[in-house]
Amino acid sequence: MLGLLARLGATTISSFQRLGRGTFFLARVLTGLHSLLPRPGLVIAQVYSIGVLSLVIIVVSGIFVGAVLALQGYNTLVNFGAEDALGVLVALSLLRELGPVVTALLFAGRAGSALTAEIGLMKTTEQLSGMEMMAVDPLRRVIAPRLLAGFVSMPLLAAMFSFLGIMGAYVVGVGALGLDGGAYWSQMQDAVDFRDDVMNGVIKSLVFGFVASWIAVFEGYDCVPTSEGVSSATTRTVVHTSLAVLGLDFVLTAVMFG
Amino acid sequence: MQNGRFVEIWVGLFVAAGFAAFFGLAMQVSNIPLFQTVDGYDVHVRFDNIGGLRERAPVTMAGVRVGRVKSIGLDENTYDARVTITIDRRFDRLPEDTSASIYTSGLLGEQYIALSPGGLDFYLRDGDEITLTQSALVLERLIGRFLASMGEGDDND
Amino acid sequence: MDSGASSPDILVDISDLHFHRGGRPIFRGVDVRIPKGTVTAIMGPSGTGKTTLLRLIGGQLRPHRGVVRFAGQDVHALGHGALYRLRRSMGMLFQTGALFTHLSVFENVAFPLREHTQLPEPLLRDLVLMKLEAVGLRGARDMMPGELSGGMGRRVALARAIALDPDMIMYDEPFTGQDPISMGALVKLIRTLNDALGLTSVIVSHDVAETARIADLIYVISDGRVVDSGTPQALMESKSEWVRQFMHGLPDGPVPFHYPGPELVSDLLERR
């Protein structure tokens, strides 16, 4: 019993320590961010490996999520004779929730884990240390471009995800289920507000992009420099990012639409 | 450096595609307000009851959309609902005695304002007020009235 | 670069250094002075924190007490910018080489130059090729680090460490896990580079024979203190029995074969 209590205490203390280290780490990275200004190439290279290489999974899942939404939504809506509202259903669920959230979860699995593993391995093989001794600050040279690239890539990926989802639903709804294409778009345009729905979705994905990249680079930088250390850091990235995204999504939704 | 070029092109495509998707969402999916409030004139309408009318609901005439509801407020002197609608600049020849009613599109659909033209030669202009209005049909009230008339019918028999 | 006016012949001056990690003391008052232009070796049994000492000199770790001066500057009193400027005059060769695995040999050596200078590409190329020539690997410039043998990797790392023409190079266990040929090459290389470029070299090692061949001065560290120091010959005939055991590699002596712990019998009985 006492042992259980002690373990709970130890876990709590170490999570707070981690949070503290993460915050200091973030502050140090952000203060060094200006050093990227003369070197946009560093960020571009990372947008490639974080954003462009995530395209395939985002495109495919966006189309399929939209198509499935259309099928499911149609079956329910048709009972009420409201199948023309399919466009509204699909667009609102994608823009407000599924676009930002699913993109962030896929991002954690595809890009976040890769970031953590890459940085963790650089730490394990003393590349980060070596960089420091070459008078190159790894926080500025390695971490900052990755953080920024993740922050930039996420909203773009989420916008593509939502857009392709709506197109996928259009193909299923109008092409396969025989809805009226005009009604699909016009009902959608009537119901979807640019600021309330589109922009709030963008704000969500900006927040998720920031948090997901932060967690990924921090876990890599903070990992125990062994092979188990890197692998458990990679797992933690995916788990923590997913939990953080879902929790933040609830908070943001409550603030925006509550 | 060929590799760097390759990366740059892909990143360029990626960013362009992202922005294209965003603009697609803005233009095709949502009714981006920037483009719709600019070109039009405001007319005030008073209703006893607006039912479930909401901001940005369509305003139609003969079934054709001519504008949108801009804002909804309460007149604290008369306790009327004061609705401001924006009518597209193209439709600048609506007679001054045009009347407005609130209808529902479909059984469970959105509520909208339908305008029916009057016969005057003077036209509505920015800041004018439409006085001939018919309020929304509130379902409970309708049913209540219906039940009441049924009751009266029973008494008469 | 040079602001050390107090003792011009001493490049690194470590005094009364205390450091502990996780409650375990690693250094308990270490004094080391590394003269300019020499090859100085820091030796000691495994686990005495020799690598830690290099990290303390490089400012990657902070001592809990004591001062490390490099060219007269207190390394740990410097701010972020000044510390990074100071590190440009230090090179460090890590035990693993620490090459960037995603860059070719050429780009690895070019990395510090690209980071710190705006040299035009042709000049940069010449410089990199010269550095690679110095370690005998000019022909391997297009290889990736994964394709190199351990000894070649370490030589590439050495070329990278001297890319910025530092005043001092620190070698962390340069001889571990090397076959005799590449070991010989490295030993020769360290000495030649030191003399040809006018460097100061610090070698951390526990390979007595190789280190003694090239070192001008050896510090022997054990149990958190400097046990003895002097030229290799002097240490071979040291008065201290312990130092002689270490230098001649005898299996038992003052250094017990067993790591300190409770008696075996009591340890066994304690567990039910």
ipTM of this complex prediction, to 2 decimal places: 0.80
Residues A130, C94: C-beta atoms closer than 8 Å: yes
Top-confidence range, B92-96, B141-145, C242-246: B92-96
Residues A137, C160: C-beta atoms closer than 8 Å: no
Given the DSSP bridges, would you call strands B58-61 and B64-75 parallel, antiparallel or unpaired?
antiparallel
Of A127, A136, A137, the CB nearest to C98: A127
DSSP 8-state class, residue B95: B
Residues A127, C99: C-beta atoms closer than 8 Å: yes
**Helix/strand/coil (H/E/C) assignment for every residue in A175-202:** HHCCCCHHHHHHHHHHHCEHHHHHHHHH
Q: Return the structure tokens found at A129.
A: 């240390």
Residue whose pair of structure tokens reads 């502990």 in the numeric block: C20
Portion of chain C with pLDDT greater than 90, in percent: 0
Portion of chain A with pLDDT greater than 70, in percent: 100
Confidence of residue B108 (pLDDT cuts 50, 70, 90): low
Which of these, A212, A251, A203, A173, lies nearest to A95 by C-alpha position? A203
Q: Phi and psi at residue C261, in whole multiples of 5°? A: -170, 175
Q: Phi and psi at residue B137, in whole multiples of 5°? A: -85, 115
CA A118 to chain CA centroid, nearest Å: 18
Q: Which helix (H) or strand (E) holds C66?
A: strand C65-70
**CA C89, CA C1: separation in Å to the nearest integer?**
8
Is A37 an interface residue toward C (CB < 8 Å)?
no
Is C111 an interface residue toward A (CB < 8 Å)?
yes
Of C88, C94, C96, the CB nearest to A135: C88
Confidence of residue A151 (pLDDT cuts 50, 70, 90): very high
Closest residue in A to C86 (Cα–Cα): A135
Helix axes A99-107, A227-257, angle to 10 degrees: 170
**What residues of chain A lie within 8 A of the CB of B30, using their CB?**
91, 95, 189, 192-194, 197-198
Mean pLDDT score across all residues of chain A: 91
Min Cα distance A139 → chain B (Å) is 23
Strand partners, C219: C42, C229
Residues A127, C58: C-beta atoms closer than 8 Å: no
Segment among B61-65, B94-98, B149-153, C14-18 with least mean pLDDT: B149-153
Chains meeting C at 3+ CB pairs closer than 8 A?
Answer: A
Q: Return the structure tokens found at B135.
A: 């309020």
Q: Return the structure tokens found at A120.
A: 């963790």
Of C90, C98, C164, the CB nearest to A129: C98
**CA A149, CA A95: separation in Å to the nearest integer?**
22
Residues A133, C90: C-beta atoms closer than 8 Å: yes
Residue A193 confidence (pLDDT): 82
User: By the 8 A CB rule, do A177 and A74 touch?
Assistant: yes
For the segment B68-94, what is each residue's pLDDT rounded down to a tens digit?
888 888 988 888 889 998 888 888 888
Which of B5, B13, B30 to probe by mutation at the A interface, max A CB count within 10 Å? B30
Is A128 an interface residue toward B (CB < 8 Å)?
no
Q: Which helix (H) or strand (E) holds C58?
A: none
**CA C56, CA C132: separation in Å to the nearest integer?**
29
Closest residue in A to C61 (Cα–Cα): A129
Residue B33 confidence (pLDDT): 55
Q: What are the residue ranges spanned by the domains of chain B?
A: 1-30, 37-139
User: By the 8 A CB rule, do C168 and C68 touch?
Assistant: no
| Alpha helices, DSSP H, located in A125-226 | 127-133, 138, 144-170, 181-191, 200-222
**CA C92, CA C90: separation in Å to the nearest integer?**
7
- Name the 3-class secondary structure at A227: helix
Residue C70 confidence (pLDDT): 87
Residues 104-133 of A with CB under 8 A from C: 121, 125-127, 129-130, 132-133
Is pLDDT above 50 for C1?
Answer: no
Q: Return the structure tokens found at B96.
A: 């001054």
Residue A93 confidence (pLDDT): 92
Q: Which residue has the higher pLDDT, A59 or B29?
A: A59
Min Cα distance A107 → chain C (Å) is 23
Confidence of residue A147 (pLDDT cuts 50, 70, 90): very high
Confidence of residue C150 (pLDDT cuts 50, 70, 90): confident
For the segment A85-115, what is each residue's pLDDT rounded down to a tens digit?
888 899 999 999 999 999 999 999 999 999 9
**CA A196, CA A71: separation in Å to the nearest integer?**
26
